[in-house]
Amino acid sequence: MRGYPTIKNLPTAAIAGFPNVGKSSLLNELTRAQSKVANYPFTTLEPNLGVFYELVLADIPGLIEGASGGKGLGMKFLRHIERTNTLFHLISAESDDPAGDYRIVRKELGQYAKALLEKREYVLLSKSDLATPAAVKKKAAALKKLNPSVTAFSIHDSDSVERVNRQLHKLIKEKQGA
């Protein structure tokens, strides 16, 4: 069952990406979290936690280029990603260059700690409802060249949210040793 995180729970997965890509919206959709959501960058200033069955998910505030060098509050946010086993990397379908966005965040992760690049990573092309199906397909294909685990989704499309749910349930099974 879904529940509320306790201080003892370390996050299983981090939801990370640029500002305003839908990280808090996804956390709210998957859990009982009530993270602040707004259509402007840096709405989330502290990580938010939510529980999806037995997985603790951490909504990491937006990372920006230069975060690993201390730009913004990036160093503080990158530390939270270190505590997780899995990374859900969100990239907005609204982006003109989703592959470039992916590379920038990966660069920041690697510059902060090479071990962050070793974590299991799922790439989620968020806000797919705000782009044409052809544009979503093209952007997903560009991302799949960099990481084959790309899923396009919108919190307004129950079928695409279900695809994310299946990925999380797979993590639960692996965690249980099934």
Quote the mean pLDDT of the chain.
Answer: 85
Domain ranges across the chain: 13-176
Mean of pLDDT values over 59-69: 72
Q: Indicate the CATH number of 13-176 among 3.40.50.1980, 3.40.50.300, 3.90.1150.10, 3.40.630.30.
A: 3.40.50.300
pLDDT of residue 42: 58
- The string of pLDDT tens digits covering residues 70-97 is 666 555 677 778 888 899 999 999 999 9
Is the CB of residue 153 less than 8 Å from the CB of residue 91?
A: no
pLDDT band at 32 (very low <50, low <70, confident <90, very high): confident
How far is the CA of 118 from the CAs of 56, 125, 144, in angstroms? 20, 21, 18
Q: What is the pTM of this model?
A: 0.85
Is the CB of residue 127 less than 8 Å from the CB of residue 92?
A: yes
Residues 6+ apart with CB under 8 A from 171: 12, 13, 55, 86
- The first and second tokens of residue 174, run together, are 């692996």
Where is average pLDDT lowest: 28-32, 65-69, 104-108, 143-147? 65-69
- Phi then psi for residue 44, to 5 deg, are -95, 120
